């Protein structure tokens, strides 16, 4: 009998082709779950009316920075990485994209229910484990060692062990409970999704790759990181240079 319930991940494989117009066409093959060929839900009665075609999207703006549309159009989950470590500047931009402070009142890159900010971010490299402090855009040393091997074991998946950096996104629903009661857990999870998508898109913009891993043993991840009581992991995100 297995001691714990761990979900095995069986995601789909997708090959994306960016047409010269900037439009993206995709060939999907999924082992399970919905795909472009088998929509999650059939269209309801009434005829479906097509939207105007997506116009050609420039891949970079005037300053040579990738446009948001180009970044969205090329994001794919990446699970195979080179050994090249992330620079501290790259790590800083990833963490800032997820939870950076962008206003004098403390509001951040990602929305937050009631601006109560239910998230924490941790990043583990080959040498150390850091905790992000959005205020002042700083990191503190959370552990003077990598916790990547422990996180990899907690996911029972390959990519974490091979990425040079793993970012862990956690939620503390209790921060929202006073204002939102029974909806606190839901709102914390939604906030984690917003922040993680920001991080994934920033990775693309930096020429990096990442995958949001949601299948892991919560207790193991919490123990490996030494999370405080009431703080729960939601995503483990391996990030690195795509191989």
CB of 234 to ligand FMN, least distance (A): 9
Closest CB 173 distance from ligand FMN, rounded Å: 17
Binding mask 73-92 for ligand FMN (x = CB under 6 A): ---xx-x-------------
Out of 11, 85, 150, 161, the residue judged to bind ligand FMN by CB under 6 A: 11
CA within 13 Å, CB half, 19 = 9
**Number of other residues whose CB lies within 10 A of the CB of residue 7:** 11
Task: Provide CB contacts within 8 A for 154, sequence distance 6+.
Answer: 216, 217, 220, 221, 224, 236
Instruction: Assess 14 for contact with ligand FMN (CB under 6 A).
Output: yes
Specify the residue, 72 or 133, whose C-beta has the smaller distance to ligand FMN.
72
> What is the DSSP secondary structure assignment for residue 60, as one 8-state letter?
B
Strand, helix or coil at 214? coil
E strands, the chain, in order: 13-18, 24-29, 119-124, 129-133, 138-143, 165-171, 209-210, 232-240
Closer of 76 and 145 to ligand FMN (Cβ): 76
Compute the distance between CA of residue 22 and CA of residue 114 in angstroms, rounded to an integer.
37
Q: How far is the CB of 98 from ligand FMN (least distance, A)?
A: 15
Residues in binding contact with ligand FMN, number by CB under 6 A = 13
Q: Which range touches ligand FMN (CB under 6 A), out of 98-106, 121-129, 184-192, 212-220? A: 212-220
12 binding ligand FMN? (CB under 6 A): yes
C-alpha angle 107/221/188, rounded to 5°?
30
Please list every residue from 103 through 162 that binds ligand FMN, using CB under 6 A.
157
Q: Select the residue interacting with ligand FMN from 95, 97, 166, 211 (CB under 6 A).
A: 211
User: What six digits make up the tokens of 55?
Assistant: 């116009």
Assess contact for 165 and 239: CB atoms under 8 A.
yes
Residues of this chain that interact with ligand FMN (CB under 6 A) are: 9, 11-12, 14, 76-77, 79, 157, 211-215
């Amino acid at each position: 009998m297995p001691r714990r319930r761990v979900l095995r991940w069986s995601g789909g494989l997708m090959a994306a082709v960016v047409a010269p117009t900037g439009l993206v066409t995709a060939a999907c093959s999924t082992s399970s779950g919905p795909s472009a060929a088998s929509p999650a839900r059939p269209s309801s009665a009434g005829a479906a009316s097509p939207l105007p075609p997506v116009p050609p999207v420039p891949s970079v703006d005037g300053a040579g920075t990738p446009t948001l549309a180009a970044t969205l159009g090329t994001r794919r989950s990446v699970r195979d990485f080179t050994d090249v470590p992330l620079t501290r500047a790259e790590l800083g931009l990833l963490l800032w994209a997820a939870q950076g402070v962008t206003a004098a009142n403390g509001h951040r890159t990602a929305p937050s229910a009631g601006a109560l900010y239910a998230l924490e971010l941790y990043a583990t490299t080959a040498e150390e484990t850091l905790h992000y402090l959005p205020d002042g855009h700083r990191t503190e040393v959370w552990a003077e060692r990598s916790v990547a091997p422990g996180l990899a074991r907690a996911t029972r998946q390959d990519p974490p062990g091979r990425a040079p950096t793993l970012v862990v996104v956690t939620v503390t629903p209790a921060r929202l409970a006073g204002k939102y009661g029974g909806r606190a857990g839901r709102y914390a999870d939604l906030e984690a999704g917003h922040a993680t998508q920001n991080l994934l898109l920033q990775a693309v913009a930096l020429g990096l790759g990442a995958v949001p891993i949601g299948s892991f043993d919560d207790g193991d991840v919490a123990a490996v990181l030494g999370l405080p009581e009431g703080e729960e992991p939601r995503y483990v995100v391996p990030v690195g240079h795509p191989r």
